Amino acid sequence: MSGLNHLIGKKRQPEAARSKFFFDAARYPHDWHKEPDEELVARYQKTGNQLLICLLLQRHKAPIIGLSMRYLKDMDKVVDFCHRLYEKLVKKLKDKEADNFQAFLLTVVKNMHKDDWDKHKVRERYQKEHPPKEAHSEENRYHFGLDNPLSQEKLLELRQKNVLSAMEYACMKLYLQEMKSGEIARVIDPAELGIKADNDLTEEALYQLKKDKVYAAIERARRKLREHLGNDFGDYFKST
What pTM was computed for the model?
A: 0.48
Nearest CA among 157, 114, 158, 152 for reference residue 136 = 152
Query: What pLDDT, on the 0 to 100 scale, is given for residue 150?
Result: 64
Spell out a b/e string for 35-63, using b for 16 or more CB atoms within 10 Å of the CB, else e.
eebeebbbebeeeebbbbbbbbbbbbeee
Q: Which residue would you say has higher pLDDT here, 224 or 129? A: 224
Half-sphere exposure at residue 40, Cβ-oriented, CA atoms within 13 angstroms: 25
Query: What pLDDT, on the 0 to 100 scale, is given for residue 136?
Result: 37
Q: Where are the domains of the chain?
A: 2-125, 132-236
pLDDT tens profile 159-178? 888 888 988 888 888 888 77
Query: What pLDDT, on the 0 to 100 scale, is given for residue 111?
Result: 92
Looking at every residue in the chain, the average pLDDT score rounds to 75
pLDDT tens profile 8-23? 443 444 333 333 445 4
